[in-house]
C-alpha cells in the first residue's frame, strides 16, 4: 500500500490505483473507504470543468495555438 499525504488527510491506496482508497483525517479521528474509480471520476470532472472554462474563454489565437 502507498500513502499520499494531502493537506488534511492521508490517502492509502494500491500502487496501480486499483481497488479501494482509505482516506484518514490527519488527526486519525475519521476514516472513509471508497473505490479509487470514484476518486478518479471526481478528479476528472474537476479537470473537465476547468478545460471547458479555458476553451470557452480562449481567444482565436489561443485556440489555434498562434
pLDDT tens digit sequence for 5-46? 999 999 999 999 999 999 999 999 999 999 999 999 999 999
Q: What pLDDT, on a 0 to 100 scale, did the predictor assign at position 24? A: 98
pTM: 0.78
Q: What pLDDT, on a 0 to 100 scale, did the predictor assign at position 53? A: 97
Q: What pLDDT, on a 0 to 100 scale, did the predictor assign at position 62? A: 94
Tell me whether residue 20 is exposed, middle or buried, using C-beta atoms within 10 angstroms of its C-beta: 0 to 12, 13 to 18, 19 or more.
middle
User: How far is it between the farthest Cα atoms of the chain?
Assistant: 52
Q: What's the rounded Cα separation, in Å, for the pair 13 and 4?
A: 8
Q: What pLDDT, on a 0 to 100 scale, did the predictor assign at position 44? A: 98
Amino acid at each position: 500500500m502507498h500513502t499520499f499525504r494531502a493537506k488534511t488527510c492521508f490517502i492509502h491506496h494500491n500502487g496501480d490505483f486499483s481497488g479501494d482508497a482509505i482516506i484518514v483525517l490527519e488527526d486519525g479521528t475519521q476514516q472513509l473507504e471508497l473505490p479509487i474509480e470514484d476518486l478518479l471520476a471526481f478528479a476528472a470532472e474537476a479537470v473537465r470543468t476547468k478545460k471547458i472554462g479555458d476553451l470557452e474563454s480562449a481567444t482565436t489565437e489561443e485556440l489555434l495555438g498562434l
